[in-house]
Amino acid sequence: MGNRRQDSIRLDAKLCKDFRHPDFDKITSRYNFAIIQFEKPAPIPEGLKTLEFAKEGQKFSGPCKVASWTNIKVTDSFQKFADELSEATVEILPDEECKKAGFTDTHVCTRPVLCGVADAGAPLICSENGTDYLYGIASHYPRDYKKPKFCGGNPLSAFSLVSKIDKKWVEKTFAEADDRCKRKKVA
């Protein structure tokens, strides 16, 4: 992945509609993912590539990579997005540790790496036999409001497992999205 400047990989695409998973739970962040439909196919900028989704039952422990625009602390009350894409290497923690911290079975967790909305949707990429897989999507981190320091003293970071995405929901949503976007253009 390497360092990339935001302006060098800007995506020129207009959003038609976004579809949040119908079972999304705001409290637990279970099923914290959505499908976004652009008005027309978005070109993949030079230097980026598509990834295979991890398959059901495929498990990784690390090292894995997270890439994000992340937030940078400027003052105690002001943060900004980084100019360059950041990359971190992480280890996936055991399921028991994630469950003990309150995460659901639709997540894996790592030591703290996520910090704010700029990280939402960041890819968790793990490799097996020379192939990179999208294993998770940055979901959330628990905030410790008793320790209101930068990033809320987050003890762990959670990633929604892509293998838990209901493939039938994806197919149905894509079909509906195509119809809605076509009707939107006509209207």
| Domain count across the chain | 1
The parent domain of residue 59 ranges over: 6-186
Q: What is the CATH number of the domain that holds 28?
A: 2.40.10.10
Decide if 1 is inside a domain: no
Closest Cα partner for 84 from 5, 166, 183?
A: 5
Question: Distance between CA 134 and CA 99 in Å, rounded?
Answer: 22
Decide if 51 is inside a domain: yes
Decide if 54 is inside a domain: yes
Decide if 93 is inside a domain: yes
Q: What is the pTM of this model?
A: 0.74
Report pLDDT digits (tens) over 123-162.
899 999 999 999 998 886 655 545 545 454 556 788 889 8
Report pLDDT digits (tens) over 47-106.
777 888 898 889 998 899 988 766 655 555 656 666 777 788 889 999 998 888 888 888
Structure tokens at 164: 């838990």
